[in-house]
Amino acid sequence: MHKFISLISGSSGNATFISDGRTNLLIDCGMSGAKLKESLHAIDVMPENIDALLITHEHIDHTKGAGVISRRYNIPIYATLGTYSHMNAGNIADDNIKIIKSNTYFELGSIGITPFSIPHDASEPVGFTFSIDKDTYALATDIGKMDESILNSISGCKCVLLESNHDVEMLRYGSYPFPLKQRILGDFGHLSNDVAARTALALVERGTEHIMLGHLSQENNRPEIAMLESYNLLSRSGVNIGNDVTLQVADRYKPTIFKSE
């Protein structure tokens, strides 16, 4: 059975698990080793059984526990050169450093993986698509600007974990200092709820069946606001939610399983 699960999601930390029952992959580890163990325990996976850790980019909400778990469980880290050289994983065994290239397909066990470039204020950041048998899955967060190239990369994926970071008004009128607001709103920051909603609609029109909104800001968003923004646009556009597509919001602190089975 395929599993695609958000373990934790949000500006406070991110980690995603994907498995086909033979190969177990963790994407990002923005939490401590102890918290990872607890999250995996909740979905009946032992950390020892993780075959590889893939990293989207060096920001701490994606890499906090990466070095620790690589050392503790002897897990190889797959990252672009830009990401790996900026992420400060500490001492990692040479054999466990695996440099990948964006837009270059590779396989780990029985899972096919394509990293795709994303605009974000990091060094060589990527999103990922995964293919297992004939199903495809996408992780698309930390994206400053949605463009046709990213949309093409994730189009047709059955399940998409899509960033819905902030409500533009909450951010504009909120307490963040001006430069930070500019960074988040800029082309190398994060996707707003309204861009996420438009992206969700484009994805549904191109065949996506399950969408999970994730990487929500703690300050400038609420799960119900992110959900409503996508829900309203999809329904107004004639999409039957629950029938044509399932729509969920990833929990900040605990595992959220795609409603794909």
Contact footprint for Zn ion (CB under 5 A): 59, 61, 142
* Dihedral pair phi/psi, residue 138, rounded to 5°: -135, 145
Q: Which of 52, 139 has the CB closer to Zn ion?
A: 139
**Spatial distance between the Cα atoms of 136 and 130, rounded to a whole number of angstroms:** 5
Nearest approach, Cβ of residue 165 and Zn ion (Å): 8
Nearest approach, Cβ of residue 3 and Zn ion (Å): 22
**Spatial distance between the Cα atoms of 109 and 89, rounded to a whole number of angstroms:** 24
Q: Which of 59, 158 has the CB closer to Zn ion?
A: 59
Q: Which of 3, 62 has the CB closer to Zn ion?
A: 62
Tell me the two tokens of residue 36: 């990872």
Q: Which of 2, 57 has the CB closer to Zn ion?
A: 57
**Spatial distance between the Cα atoms of 212 and 245, rounded to a whole number of angstroms:** 10
Report the SS3 class of residue 211. strand
**Spatial distance between the Cα atoms of 100 and 175, rounded to a whole number of angstroms:** 38
129 pairs with which residues across the strands? 114, 138
Residue nearest to Zn ion (CB): 59
* Dihedral pair phi/psi, residue 111, rounded to 5°: -110, 130
Nearest approach, Cβ of residue 126 and Zn ion (Å): 11
Nearest approach, Cβ of residue 59 and Zn ion (Å): 4
Nearest approach, Cβ of residue 241 and Zn ion (Å): 27
